[in-house]
Every structure is written in structure tokens, then in C-alpha cells.
A and B are shown apart, each in its own frame.
Chain A
């Protein structure tokens, strides 16, 4: 038995506490310590640090200048030379870090994290028609994917049918085209709704997609309580970043309230919102802006539930979050740890949530599409790998890794396979999933986590001020006044200038450029016949449906809209009658109007 094996055996028997190594062997050195944080010892430490700077560092710097005057993170925050116990002097273990699965969840949302179950590998898919996407789903499930995720095309995202004038050239392009329940029947063919969890990336028309899903479950006799999944339904960020809005902000928020209420009462295991920062960051925000604006939105939605008289301990456990993992490794890890901590505090202190479930922030992460380059696309696999690593070390619940070809196109099957393989290698070959929060306690990571928290709290205070105490109102006014857009556009322009100046490096683009590196990659090519196929499909459904039933269901929806009732049950009825998405959205558009982006730049 090797020495290591001997030690391991002792570990199993529980005898190997720090003080309790049998016989106190005279080792290389005594691993036990007295702790860094008693006053006297700390003072001594401070003096020693000063000594190091004077005796070792400064003479060295005279002959070996550092690469930069000021080191900056991707978001432009100063990065220190060295992080030491002095940087975490104020950190209180119990208060600020705590234990995995307990508030403030800094060390992880769950007690065993990936030792119990690894993160969900949830690759998004959606293109062309429901049939093609269904094939991709089955392929991904066969490859070991554990959850489904859907991207919709622009007409679906903005509430237009495929045969609408707005849709020309866009049907099935960046996601799957959905018009009626018939498309959902195809999309989920041979996929048991009570066994998979399904995430749908859609916002303003989210209630309609949820209605299609619930209608499909009813049709198949699957109990609504067994449905698991998420609709993004993160409408605030549509106005500040993603820009696939359909209705104006204020009426849309009323519809979000309908969804919260309906889900809480009817589909209790469904996540009614996936509060998204991803798009805000991709639009050019900094890490702190991404985190802060997302938390502010989450608080806005909590206030929506409260306004419907719901108890946060009932509805808040069914909201999740969504962040990007960008290229600055430690900045991202700090962000992930900080948002968990802030949410746990806010939910309790501000909204009186008491249960751990309501205070626990769960989130999905996607690697940064923005960071990918069109030049030398295979190098993107490396970028995606480090971003995925940061997501896992930060403690995500699910992860999407981008395809290497996404600066050019929606991903090919080969690109998606490699992206999924990346996660599998991280999860199964590296050992990073075997201990909880492995970077917890790192001076740098803890200091950066606390710094991120402070930056985020500053922004939250701004939003609160805008809303005169209400975060929901702060979000709405921030949208109406262009506050969020201006913040983001300033950051994105600054970022672009830093990149142009070479301060932000992109290998192969602004450093280490090579000529003749045009790697030929096989891109996904959109089938030009898709649009026509979907148009034919829609025409057939319209032809075959019972028009009287459609009219009756739409009249029910109209009445609910006019009388201010919850529209969700009526959307489900309209879905079952094969009313189209555009017909349902049409009623809402007629009532509430549309929205013009202020176009701040």
C-alpha cells in the first residue's frame, strides 16, 4: 500500500483530522496552523507583506517591469498583483460564505452540488421546422443530453405567424418556426413530456408557448403537475438588450403576472421565468451590469407575484436565472458566487422569504457567443472550454456550450457534438465535479466575489432610486428613460475601443494574426425550402381546424383581455382549438399596441 493509500484508508476511518494524524509523524512540515486571523498574527503578516514588497518585489521590478501599468479585467476592473489574507480580512465565514445548500449559498446552491448529480448539459436547439428540431432533440438525447432547450425563429419570438408579411425570409432561420399546437405535436413527437424537462427561450409570447405545452400535455393525458421545464418569460431584458419584444413594457408585465399566478396554481413544477442576464452582457454590458440588472429584474418579478397576493415562499422557488460565462475566468466565477449571495440576502431582507428554496438562486449558464471569432473558428472550442470551466467552478445548475461556428451561423451538428463533448470531458475526466466550490477560500476569488457584490449593490441602489423604492417600477422607468440602454451602450463602446486598441486581446484577431488561416468549416446551411414547407403546414392546419371552435376560443381570450382576467386558461383553450400564435398575439397587440425602441446609441 502506498503512503497515499494508507492516508486515504485512515481518512475513511475518520481518524485523519488535522491534529489527529496518528503519531504526529515528523513530516516535511507540520500542516497544522494557528489560523491567520488573530490580531497579533495578522499584524505580523502585514509587516511581512511590506517587507516582501521592499526587499523582494521592488528590486525585482526595477529590472523586470510588469507587462502593464494597470491590469484590468474584461469588464475593466482593476486586478491586483497578489491577493492575500488582507483582502479577505472582513470576510465572515458563517455570514458571507456559509455552507453549501444554506443561505447565503455562496459556496453552492445545494448541499452536495455535483457530487450528487452533475450539472445538466442542456444544449439549445431549434431550427427550420418542428420536424427537423425534433430529430435534433432525439439526436441530443441519444448523445446523453439530459434536458431539452428550444430556440425559436424571429417571427415566433415576436408574435407573428409564418405567413405574416413581417416573417418573409425569417421563417425557421435562427430557431424553430412555431405557429400552432400542431407544430408542438411534431416538436415533441416520441418525447415523453413527464420525463424530460424542456426549456423554451421565448419572452413576450411565452404564455402562448406555455399554453401550447400544457395543451399538448392535456391532449396526451399527462398530468400538468408532472410537467417540468422553463419558459424564459424574462420580458424586462427584451427592452434593454435582446429586443425581441412584442408588446409595450407595462401591459406585458401584467401578462407576466398572469403567468406567475397560473404556474403557481396549475403547473407547480414549471419555472415561470428564467431571469436572463445573458443577453444584457452580450449586448455589451460589464459583468456587474449583467449581474445587477438581472437581479433587479428578478426582484421586479418577485414584486409582480406579491402584487397578485402570492407568498414568495410559494412562487419564488420556481424562478431561475440565466447568465453568460465570458472569457475572464475569475471575474465570472466571482460573479456567479456573488449573485447567489446577494439573492439570498435580498429575498430574505427585502421580501421576507423564509424558505431556503425561495432564497436559493439556481441558474443556467451559456458560454459567450460574443467572444467567438469568425477567424480560425476551431480555436473557439478552447474559448468555450475555459468559459465552461468557469461556469462549473462557479456552481451552475445547467450549462450550454456554444458551437465553434457560431460567429458565422447557427451551429452545425458537428459543432454541437463537440460542444457537448466539451462538457462531458469537464464533467467526467477532470475531477472538478468531485468537491464543492473548490475555489472557495482563495484570497483572490473571495476578494473578487466581495468586490463584485459591492459593484452590483451600487447599481441596485440606482434602480431602486429610479423606482422610488420599487424595483419593478425602477425597471420600467429605467426602460422608459433609456437608462439601461445608455449604460449598456456606453460599456459596449468602451469595450470596442479597448479591443481596437489591443487592450482586450483576441488571439488570431488582434494578436498572433496569421494570413492564410481560413479554415474551411462546414457551416449549417438553411434549407431555402423551409419557409415554404412551414407555410404549407400552416395552411393545412388552418384548412383542417374547426373554425367555429377557433372563433369561440379567441372570443373567450378577447373577453378575458377586456375584463382583465387571467389570460392563461384562455390561451390554453385557444391552443387546443389550433388558433395560431399570431391570432392570439393579434388580440393582445390590438388591445395594448406595440413598442418602438428608443434607439439610444
Chain B
């Protein structure tokens, strides 16, 4: 790792009380984004749980319950978001986890992102997103 930059992610006060699940549902193997975001969360001081690959929505929600997370972020680059996201959301609701901050990232066309938000996703992060913006968003929503 080279020199530190001003924009490098600083540890946030109180972040260690926040538990974040980064999940990869479905068969999609594109994990670069999920890992970069997970690492940025870790650098910010959050407790990060990364699901690994090939999880069913059921398995992700199970982990969310067991780990008692505050944030669930799903990364999907396979186009299957319209099936996997509603399913996960439904299972979270069934489990009574309505307070979690629910985020989705990946190759999500604008029209689909709008629809997901209407269904209750708190925020959709598309391609080109700056990692600092994601960390900052979670900080604001959970810690402020």
C-alpha cells in the first residue's frame, strides 16, 4: 500500500457499534465491488460481515438475524436484482427486521433502481459510485 491520501477512509467515532452485512445473493461471482465496499466499511471502523458467494436470500437473512446487523447491503451484477431484492426484503420483514438500513449496489439501471426504492430499499448505489459516499451515507443514517 502506498502513501496515505486525504480521501482515504478515516475511522469514524462510534462506528464499532455498527454491524454491517455485505451480501452476495444468487450465482453472481462479481465480487470486486462487494469486497471493496466491505473493506471501506472496515476501514471506517464498522463491524463487517461478508457473506461470501452464492447465498440464497434465506441464508443472507439468516446471517442478518444471527449477527443482529444494523445494515444489509446486497451486491448484484447479474441482472437478477428484480427477483433477489424483493425476496430478501420480504424475508427481512417476516423476521421483524424492519429497522435495518437496506442497501443495494451493482449494475442496476435507473428505472429498476427507482422501482427498488419504491419497494423499500433505502438506497441504490450504481456503477461509478465513490466508496466515500457509501461510507458517509451509512454513517449519516445509522450514527446521526
Whether B52 and A497, one on each chain, are in contact in the complex, defined by CB atoms closer than 8 angstroms, is no
Knowing A374-B128, A506-B128, the reply to whether A410 touches B5 (Cβ < 8 A) is no
The segment from B11-19, B33-41, B66-74 found at the interface with A is B33-41
Q: Does A489 contact B (CB under 8 A)?
A: yes
Q: Which 5 A-B pairs have the closest CB atoms?
A: A169-B83, A243-B29, A154-B27, A599-B52, A601-B35
Closest residue of chain A to B85 (Cβ to Cβ) is A169
User: Hey, which chain A residues are within 8 Å of B127, CB to CB?
Assistant: 372-374, 407-408
A173 touching B2 in the complex, CB below 8 Å, given contacts A244-B27, A374-B126, A599-B52? no
Q: Could you tell me the distance in whole angstroms from the C-beta of B84 to the nearest C-beta in chain A? A: 6
Contact of A174 among B1, B79, B84, B130 (CB under 8 A): B79
Task: Return the chain B residue nearest A370 by Cβ.
Answer: B32
- Distance, CA A169 to CA B132, complexed state (A): 31
Distance A154 CA – B8 CA, assembled complex (angstroms): 35
Instruction: Verify if A62 is at the interface (C-beta below 8 Å from B).
Output: no
Nearest A residue to B76 via CB reads A169
B79-A375 in contact (CB<8A):
no
A192 to B40, CA, bound (A): 51
In-complex Cβ contact of A409 among B6, B79, B82, B83 (8 A): B79
Chain B residues touching A, range: 35 or more
Q: Which residues of A contact B5 (CB under 8 A)?
A: 497-498, 500-501, 503
Determine the distance from Cα of A501 to Cα of B1 in the docked complex, in whole angstroms: 15
Cβ contact within 8 Å between B39 and A489:
yes
Roughly how many angstroms separate A154 CA and B29 CA in the complex, as a whole number? 9
A168-B83 CB under 8 A given contacts A173-B78, A523-B109, A601-B35? yes
Q: Who on chain A is nearest to B7 by CB?
A: A501
Q: Is A194 positioned at the interface, with any CB of B under 8 Å from its CB?
A: no
**Would you call A526 and B79 a contact (CB within 8 A)?**
yes
| Residues of chain B contacted by A499 (CB below 8 angstroms) | 130
A76 on the B face (CB < 8 A):
yes
Shortest CB-to-CB span from A252 to chain B, Å, is 15
* B window 14-56: CB within 8 A of A: 26-32, 34-36, 38-40, 42, 50-54
A250 contacts B by Cβ under 8 Å: no
A-B contact pairs, 24 of them (CB 8 A): A76-B2, A154-B78, A170-B27, A170-B80, A173-B79, A283-B31, A373-B128, A374-B126, A374-B128, A408-B107, A408-B127, A492-B35, A493-B39, A493-B40, A496-B40, A497-B7, A500-B131, A501-B8, A503-B5, A510-B130, A597-B52, A599-B31, A599-B53, A601-B42
Closest chain B residue, CB of each to CB of A166: B27
> Which chain A residues lie closer than 8 Å to B1 at the CB level?
490, 494
Residue of A nearest to B82 (CB): A169
Q: How far is the CB of A201 from chain B (nearest CB, A)?
A: 13
Known: A407-B128, A500-B132. A601 touches B27 (CB 8 A): no
Q: Give CA–CA (A499, B133) in the complex, Å.
A: 13
A170 touches B26 (CB 8 A): yes
Measured between alpha carbons, how far is A169 from B107 in the docked complex, in Å? 16
Contact for B26 among A154, A498, A599, CB less than 8 A: A154
Q: Are A284 and B128 within 8 A (Cβ)?
A: no
Which residue in chain B gives the minimum CB-CB distance to A167?
Answer: B27
Q: Is A146 among interface residues, defined by CB-CB distance under 8 A?
A: no
Contact A496 B36 (CB under 8 A): yes
How far is the CB of A554 from the nearest CB of chain B, in Å? 24
A382: chain B residues at CB < 8 Å are none
Contact with B along A125-165 (1 / 0, CB 8 A): 00000000000000000000000000000110110100000
| Interface residues in chain A, defined as those with a beta carbon under 8 Å from any beta carbon in chain B | 76, 154-155, 157-158, 160, 166-170, 173-174, 238, 242-245, 282-284, 372-375, 407-410, 489-490, 492-494, 496-503, 506, 509-510, 518, 523, 526, 596-601
Which chain B residue shows the least CB distance to A283? Answer: B32
Contact A409 B131 (CB under 8 A): no
Q: What is the chain B residue whose CB lies nearest that of A408?
A: B109
User: Most chain-A Cβ atoms within 10 A of its Cβ — which of B7, B29, B131?
Assistant: B29
Complex CA distance for A173 and B109, rounded to whole angstroms = 14
Chain A residues touching B, majority SS: loop
B27 touches A500 (CB 8 A): no
Cβ contact within 8 Å between B107 and A407? yes
A284 lies within 8 A of B32 (CB):
yes
- In the assembled complex, the Cα of A282 lies from the Cα of B27 at a distance in Å of 18
B128–A409 contact, CB under 8 A? no
Closest-CB distance, B27 to chain A (whole angstroms): 4
The reply to whether B8 and A409 form a contact with Cβ atoms under 8 Å apart is: no
Q: How far does the Cβ of A266 sit from chain B's closest Cβ, in whole Å?
A: 31
A167 to B54: give the CA distance in the assembly, Å.
11
In whole angstroms, what is the CA distance A490 to B36 when docked?
Answer: 9
A410–B78 CA distance with the chains assembled, in angstroms = 9
A492 close to B107 (CB less than 8 A) = no
CA distance A50 to B51 in the complex (A): 58
A174 contacts B78, C-beta separation under 8 Å: yes
Instruction: Note all chain A residues with C-beta closer than 8 A to B107.
Output: 374, 407-409
Please state if A492 and B128 are interface contacts (CB–CB under 8 Å): no
CA distance A502 to B82 in the complex (A): 33
Nearest residue (CB) in A for B130 is A500
- Which residues of chain A are near B26, meaning CB under 8 Å? 154, 169-170
Cβ-defined contact, B128 with A500, below 8 A: no
Given A494-B1, A500-B7, the answer on whether A244 and B84 have CB atoms closer than 8 Å is no
Q: Which of A154, A372, A509 has the most CB of B within 10 A?
A: A154
> CA A518 – CA B110 in complex, angstroms?
10
Nearest CB in chain B: distance from A410 CB, A: 7
In the assembled complex, the CB of B119 is this many whole angstroms from the nearest CB of chain A, namely: 15
Which residues on B sit within 8 Å (CB–CB) of A599?
31, 50-53
By a CB distance below 8 angstroms, the chain B residues around A157 are 27
Partner of A282, one of B32, B54, B83: B32
Q: Using Cβ atoms and an 8 Å threshold, which residues of chain A touch B40?
A: 493, 496
| Given A407-B127, A493-B36, A497-B7, also A170-B78 (CB < 8 A) | yes
Instruction: Report the minimal beta-carbon distance from B3 to chain A, rounded to whole angstroms.
Output: 10
Interface flags for B104-144 (1: CB within 8 Å of A; 0: not) read 00010110000000000000001110111000000000000
Min distance, Cβ A501 to any Cβ of chain B, angstroms: 4
**Also in contact, A244 and B35, with CB within 8 A (given A407-B127, A500-B132, A501-B5):** no
List 7 extra interface pairs beyond A170-B78, A599-B31, A599-B50, CB under 8 A.
A157-B27, A167-B27, A242-B29, A374-B128, A493-B35, A497-B5, A600-B35
Question: Given A169, A408, A596, which contacts B80 in the complex, CB threshold below 8 Å?
Answer: A169
Q: A242-B29, A284-B32, A599-B53 are in contact. Are A169 and B84 (CB under 8 A)?
A: yes
B55 shortest CB reach to chain A, Å:
11
B79–A410 contact, CB under 8 A? Answer: yes
Bound-state CA distance A499–B130 (Å) is 8
Interfacial chain B residues near A518, Cβ < 8 Å = 110
